[in-house]
Amino acid sequence: MGKNKLQKFADMASYPHVFEYPYSVADNVAFEKRGKWNQEFFKNNHPIVLELGCGRGEYTVGLGRMFPDKNFIAVDIKGARMWSGATDSLEAGMKNVAFLRTNIEIIDRFFAPGEISEIWLTFPDPQMKKATKRLTSTYFIQRYRKFLQSDGIIHLKTDSNFMFSYTKYMVEENNLPVEFITEDLYNSGLVDDILSIKTYYEQQWLDRGLAIKYIKFLLPQEGELREPDVEIELDSYRSYNRSKRSGSQRSK
């Protein structure tokens, strides 16, 4: 029998590579590692990569194993879910992986300008009802600019036609440089070791015959950001663990 949520939260509180700063804490306690992640935690000068909405943390752990010369921080508010990756990386003795449990709406509080080199968005909830909740909306892109290096990289992997289309229109509206884009990743010829890391739910979507979409684009510091004014067809299905496809719950 797996551990219950209370035990998982207790484990997380004791893990040296887990930092927990949800709204209730972040509003009252300063985050002292902002601008000092490499100096005080990773103890090196390697590039730092974020995974936002990490779920179980499988992607971050997989990337950490592939790239010992990079540092990875997985971010999500779901602590019990994040426990899996945090435990796996701790037991493996990985020194280039950390976990931050917080609300992504305040992500810019935890990193200094230019501190992050890349961002991965792996299967975020498309949030079809409200643009400002989408992790590729200009609401969030503006926050990413506060800590992402100029022309830093943003990756999106998604099963959602809606999320992929919205992101494509947002990128086009703001003339953001696109390095690669495909509506069917695993039949694109691009699949390499990085992109072939599959989360638990991604494999289930693939088993259902759903194509995985991927876009890799750069984020310059200059230029005013504009939301795309377009109508996008809603997804016709519900993903795992989402009671409503456009609701606030996300899954990995």
Residues designated as active site: 125
- Pick from 150, 152, 151, 171: which is nearest to 214 by CA? 171
178-182 and 213-219: which strand pairing? Answer: antiparallel
Rounded to 5°, the CA angle 19-65-47 comes to 65
What CA–CA distance (Å, rounded) separates 105 from 26?
Answer: 12
Q: What is the DSSP letter of 40?
A: I
Strand order in the sheet with 116-122: 18-20, 97-101, 71-76, 48-52, 116-122, 148-158, 213-219, 178-182
Question: Interhelix angle for 79-91 vs 5-14, to 10°?
Answer: 50
Q: What is the token pair recorded at 103?
A: 């609300």
